Structure 1
Amino acid sequence: MAEIRSNAASVTFDHVTKTYPGASMPAVDDISLAIEAGKLVTLLGPSGCGKTTTLRMIAGLEMPSSGRIMIGGKDVTRLPATDRDVSMVFQSYALFPHMTVIENVSYGLRFSGHDKKEAASRAHAGLELVGLTGFEARLPSELSGGQQQRVAVARALVLEPQVLLFDEPLSNLDAKLRRHVREEIREIQTKLGLTVVYVTHDQEEALAVSDRIMVMNKAVIAQDGTPRELYDAPADAFVADFIGEANILDCEVVSVEGDEATVRLGSLALKLPARSQLVGPAKLAVRPSRIEIGPAGRPRTIAGRLEKVTYVGGHLELIIGTPHGQVFAISHDIDAPFQAGDSVGIGFPERGPVLIKA
């Protein structure tokens, strides 16, 4: 049986802009990016941020208004989709309902000129890779949503593209199945060393599958980094709140010495990485899981009052009123004697708050 190979290639955008006729603002505004061969990079952001337009420009389904696009070092800016070595897995799967699974998977191979025997061999290899051996004769209507998604992935893989594109691939699946299929996609990508560009608006999905995440907002890239970098050190309030939940608190940078800033939050003084912040007003981003809740009056804490305590199985969710606004915290001490109305002290561990721009 044939094997599915990787022809992974890099993707580069050089000052790419896309403006649709009649639009007052560009859909993608002067983006430069570099995606390394063999990596899974996610474009993450809210609806209308430009992520799907960016993906479609890689595919050749949209042409940029200006700038250059390169795949594997080759300028493909004006090449149509048919002349690019790229495959896309669509949100709707786009399977042919009248064709069997094996016919769907081999269709692209037959269309591109492979003989019947080779197309069948590679199609069988693709189905084996996604765990659907034995499903060859079924029609799409006889498959579950997750199985249809895997057929779509197999159909893309057998073409051995330089770049594999996913456009919101899990949005039609229920939560449990989404988790299972995203693990399969990541496993296949890692095993074959594929270059994958993955579009989603789901931050948990992005954190789970990505080597790197490019967070997009208002047609530009707000921040580019590894999942941990974006979670631990968001660039601004938008990224902090989009990559997981975050409390955004007003603070004051009192002084900066080298890479360390002295930050005042009410009566509390904190020493934090300066992250290029200057003396003056700033904001702190604090993850709910990185807040310490204890009895009121402890040193190095700010005072608060519990407004709501919710038990959700593995942890408690706490809403705390403070002089700095409401704070949302998570406590894994489910036996802690917290009750609404209690006075508490809010502390921050060393790797808790992160300075961001005001």
Structure 2
Amino acid sequence: MSINAKAAPVSFRNVTKIYGKDVVAVDNINLEIEAGKLVTLLGPSGCGKTTTLRMIAGLEIASKGSIHIGDQDVTLLPATDRDVSMVFQSYALFPHMTVMENVSYGLTFSGFDKSETRDRAQQGLDLVGLKGFGDRLPSELSGGQQQRVAVARALVLEPQVLLFDEPLSNLDAKLRRQVREDIRDIQQDLGLTVVYVTHDQEEALAVSDEIVVMRNAGIAQVGAPRELYDAPADKFVADFIGEANIIPCDIIDVKGDTAHIAIGTLKHQLSARDMMPGPANLAVRPTRFKLGAAGGVPMKVEKATYVGSRMEYTLAAHFGTVFVVSEDVDGPLAIGDTVMVGLDRIGPVLLAVD
């Protein structure tokens, strides 16, 4: 027996979810998730990402609009009639059942005989690296191993869509990195359609083909990880996807697709992004500053922290403070030093003023 992906696309068409009379959890969203892709719903608490995931699963029913999995309209179908599997934050393993029994559980309701059920469950354990663990109880496994059991239990059902709800939140930092790599490897090897919910930006950047950034029950921006990191649509996305310093600037002029800007005495040019001369904001990642740059902005070191592979600085300028990262750990700046700070040629991004 082999587990073959029946990957299907997911489509949200003008979907709204309202609780009670007027609590809007998801507000008229349109979203296309390609078959065989891992798409992450990312955003702060209360933005609507978990409700969106639960509507795919059938654990919540849309108030308006329609949801399609493949060619089927599943908007009103109960969870039991949808070809999806979900891996929960809590793993939801049965403590009194062995690992093999946990992985086999869903298969016992799918019409397979005992032999095929066991074969499928064993292959599921092999896929997640738990060969030989079938006779153990969940309590005898580490947190990362328990998470893999939950993934195996979902995989053996051969779902059209596999859903993850904050799957790594109960793991420590080192284990989180390992398990997210495992999930990504399995998804790519089997060509699964995966929808993944997290509030962790680094996790989203690491695992995703595409990220859906959500805010206030709606979608702020959709794009590949590098696209969102390098070209955020607005201040919220810039600050939420990785860390960004938002600096006021003036667009002096625009020639073609290039804007010439000024921050005090500092002059710089970059993509205009269809903006016109006048006040604007500049989003600058902590790694995109140039310390000791001629013609830069004078800044005073307020904090200097050594974190092993880099120095982290809080610098004060005439417009406020910025957070700057430098790989120069051998010649660090000291608190109270004044340094001229410039910008990397690539990296800073113009944003409209709110």
TM-score grouping bracket, smaller chain normalisation: over 0.9
Whether 1:97 aligns to 2:95 is yes
Determine what percentage of the aligned residue pairs are the same residue: 67
Question: 1:264 is matched with which residue?
Answer: 262
**1:276, distance to aligned residue in structure 2 (A):** 2.3
Matched residue SS, 2:19:
coil
Structure 1 partner of 2:62: 64
SS of residue matched to 1:5? coil
Partner of 1:46: 44
Partner-residue secondary structure (3-state), 2:281: strand
Q: Distance in 1 between matches of 2:332 and 2:49?
A: 45
Residues 266, 342 of structure 2: 8 Å contact kept? no
Q: Which amino acid aligns with 2:341?
A: I
Aligned match of 1:355: 350
Report how far residue 114 of structure 1 moved: 1.6
Give SS of 1:335's match.
Answer: coil
SS of equivalent to 1:19? strand
Residue aligned with 2:24, SS? coil
Q: Is the 8 A contact 2:311 2:332 kept in 1?
A: no
> How far apart, in 1, do the equivalents of 2:115 and 2:301 lie?
69
CA–CA distance in structure 2, aligned partners of residues 136 and 183 of structure 1: 23
The RMSD of aligned alpha carbons is 1.1
**Match in the other structure for 2:2:** 3
Task: Flag structure 1 segments of 5+ consecutive residues without an equivalent.
Answer: none
Superposition deviation, residue 254 in structure 1:
2.4
Among candidates 317, 323, 329, match of residue 322 of structure 1: 317
Q: Which amino acid aligns with 1:153?
A: V
Q: Which whole-Å deviations, capped at 9, do the CAs of 1:50-98 have from their partners, x for residues lacking one?
A: 0000000011111111111111122111111111100000001111111
Where structure 2 has 5 or more consecutive residues not aligned to the other structure, the ranges are none
Aligned counterpart, 1:15 = 14
Match of 2:178 among 169, 177, 180: 180
Secondary structure at the aligned position of 1:165 is classed as strand
8 Å contact kept, 2:13–2:30: yes
Q: Which residue of 1 aligns with 2:341?
A: 346
Amino acid at match of 1:312: V
Task: Measure, in 2, the Cα distance between the counterparts of 1:327 and 1:148.
Answer: 41
Deviation at 1:293, TM superposition (A): 0.6
Q: Which structure 2 residues correspond to residues 157-306 of structure 1 after superposition, within 5 A?
A: 157-294=155-292, 298-306=293-301
For residues 183 and 197 of structure 1, the distance between their equivalents in structure 2, rounded to whole angstroms, comes to 15
- What's the CA shift for 1:25? 3.9
The one of 116, 124, 127 aligned to 2:125:
127
Query: Which letter maps to 2:334?
Result: Q
Cα distance in 2, alignment partners of residues 84 and 180 from structure 1? 30
How many equivalent pairs are there? 353
Q: CA offsets, 1:205-228, max 9 Å, x none?
A: 101100011111111111111111
2:308 to 288, 293, 313: 313
Alpha-carbon separation, structure 2, partners of 1:239 and 1:147: 34
Tell whether the 8 Å contact from 1:291 to 1:352 is kept in structure 2 after alignment: no
CA distance in 1, matches of 2:245, 2:135: 53
Deviates more, 1:253-262 or 1:92-101: 253-262
1:342 CA drift (Å): 1.0
Asked whether the equivalents of residues 88 and 167 of structure 2 are also in contact (C-alpha less than 8 Å), the reply is yes
Question: In the TM superposition, what is the alpha-carbon distance from 1:345 to its structure 2 partner?
Answer: 0.5
| Superposition TM-score, scaled by structure 2 size | 0.98
Runs of 4+ in 1 over 3 A off after TM superposition: none
Question: 1:245 is matched by which residue type in structure 2?
Answer: E
Give the Cα separation in 1 of the matches to 2:279 and 2:15: 34
- 1:255 CA displacement: 2.3
Report the 3-state secondary structure (helix = DSSP H, G, I; strand = E; otherwise coil) of the residue aligned with 2:151. helix
Report if aligned partners of 1:260, 1:271 keep a CA contact under 8 Å in 2: yes
For normalisation by structure 1, the TM-score amounts to 0.96
